Chain A
Amino acid sequence: MELKWWHIGLIIALVLAGVISPFASSLPDGLERVAIDHDFIELGEGHEVMHSPMPDYVVPGISNETLATSLAGLIGTLMMFGLVYGIGKALKGSSVERDKN
């Protein structure tokens, strides 16, 4: 199979999410830093509307943190590609149909 440009793009994304992400900084981000410094960080705790299957980009039930993060990254990246590719296909499909009419 010939490697297309978007295969390469997807591989780069998978490497970032699957290999590099476990080494990302776990320091608070900009908003969390401001929330900690100005004492409102607790407002965001316990108010979750729903519980996500992979909170904080970790697959639950895997004790090895690196692996749990790496897997969450791979799952998320593939899910993003598939979902947005599908949305794009659906939008394109409806525009082609209209052109025919």
Chain B
Amino acid sequence: MHIPDGFLSAPIWMSMWIIAIVIVGYAVKRTNEKLGERHVPMMGVLAAFIFAAQMLNTPVAGGTSGHMMGGVLAAVFLGPFAATIVMSTVFAVQAIFFQDGGITTLGANIFNMGLIGTILGYYIYQGIRKVIGGEKGMLVGAGVAAWITLMLGAIACAIMLGASGVVPLGVALPAMAGVHVLIGAIEAGITVVVVGMVLRSRPDLLELQKI
């Protein structure tokens, strides 16, 4: 779902850059206030894992492939704001070094594939986790948050394409949502498996203070 340069009109990509800068700037401020010694390697490992996982496109229906985004996964371990820094750095490196996603559209990509998962996804996860409780709550919360936020990212992407006049919104919205239903299932599946494996082997790693 990395939007390349050329897909979005200037008013849209500029607006998304401004929104991304404001939110990431706030995340840096919050993280700066709270980050502890044990968070640092966790941030590095999550960035490395999410970068690697995003290379692993899996075929879904109709001659299409998809890969995980990882925003909810990062937020489950780190909390919304430290996870925001991880995800934003991943998308910046992908755009600069690997031509995956544009430079003009980096703000939009950080928003759609990063911030929706790290921030909104984190609060969806926490809400479900508290209602259900225990390890089951964590796994269900992480999976549901991962699926919902991947879908919302696809919908946000469709709205930006529509607003850019590239394709009518009435066309983009069902097309983007439809194709991402299964990709969202990949997102949810990998997020649940990783959280579940860490719960079995090193549950203490899930107890870092959430930032």
Contact = CB atoms under 8 A, between A and B. Distances in A.
Question: Are these two chains actual partners, yes or no?
Answer: yes
Contacts of B157: 31
Nearest to A51: B99
A30 B154 contact: yes
Nearest to A53: B97
B3 A31 contact: yes
A9 B201 CA distance: 12
A34 B176 contact: yes
A46 B15 CA distance: 23
Interface in B16-50: 28, 31-37, 39-50
Interface in A20-69: 20-21, 24-35, 37-38, 40, 43-57
B45 A81 contact: yes
Interface stretch (B88-96, B114-122, B123-131, B132-140): B88-96
B104 A30 contact: no
Interface in A53-101: 53-57, 72-73, 76-85, 87-89, 91-92, 94-95
Interface residues of A, number: 61
B48 A27 contact: no
What does DSSP make chain A's interface, helix, strand, loop or mixed? helix
Nearest to B53: A16
A46 to B, nearest CB: 8
Contact of A30 (B1, B45, B100): B1
B196 interface: no
Interface in B36-91: 36-37, 39-53, 55-59, 62-67, 82, 85-86, 89-90
5 contacts: A9-B45, A28-B65, A31-B3, A80-B89, A88-B41
Interface of B: 1-7, 28, 31-37, 39-53, 55-59, 62-67, 82, 85-86, 89-90, 93, 95-100, 102-104, 154, 157, 161, 166-167, 171-172, 175-176, 179-180, 183, 202, 205
Interface of A: 4-6, 9-10, 12-14, 16-17, 20-21, 24-35, 37-38, 40, 43-57, 72-73, 76-85, 87-89, 91-92, 94-95
